[in-house]
Amino acid sequence: MMKAVQVLSLTLLSVLAVSAMTFHSGRCPTPPVQQSFDPTRYMGRWYEIQKIPNAFQLGECAQATYTLKDGVVLVLNEELLADGTVSSIEGTAKAKDPSEPAKLEVSFFEGVPPGNYWVLSTDYDNYTLVYGCTNYLNLFHVEFAWILSRGRSLPKETLVELQDILISNGIKIDTLTSTDQELKRCSAMPQ
């Protein structure tokens, strides 16, 4: 059994080392989420402005569309790949605990454990700050973060405010990258 755990640990470390994700020692932080979160107001199109890079997003012009149906959020993520094609994936999200509606779990593949999608801050009309984290063997974790907007840009002051929320909760932003949302480049994206 111990040998299997060691092999699994080395395999996970190898995969993470060659992917775009960064791992950190210890368990995931647990930042506070948006109080009185209203899923209905959150629905609609959001454009990715910045993110902590990950292995499952490879393009630019990334956008997410959320639709509420029977208490489940239908998720459509789309991005423009380097070859000019639009890549998309559909999934679902729902609150694990109805008393904490800003802590969602999102699934894209059957049989694969869901990922965390925690809304740390949103004004529903302009910006949202989303955080996710996955623990591995309680030894290390991989973080995900997205700053999204209802439009293709956000004021610098808003970006700094949202980045400060991450920093104040022990989430490193040194790998945060901006997503190209330039209208001419993103014209092939579905409207």
* End-to-end C-alpha distance for the chain, whole angstroms: 51
Say which CATH architecture domain 25-178 belongs to: Beta Barrel (2.40)
What is the pTM for the complete model shown?
0.86
List the chain domain ranges. Answer: 25-178
- Show pLDDT as tens, one digit a residue, over the chain (191 residues): 444 434 334 344 434 443 455 777 888 989 999 999 999 999 999 999 999 988 778 899 999 999 999 989 999 999 999 999 999 999 999 999 999 999 999 999 988 889 999 999 999 999 999 999 988 888 888 899 999 999 999 999 999 999 999 999 999 899 899 999 999 999 989 88
Local structure of 103: helix, strand or coil: strand
Residues 6+ apart with CB under 8 A from 122: 34, 37, 42, 128, 129
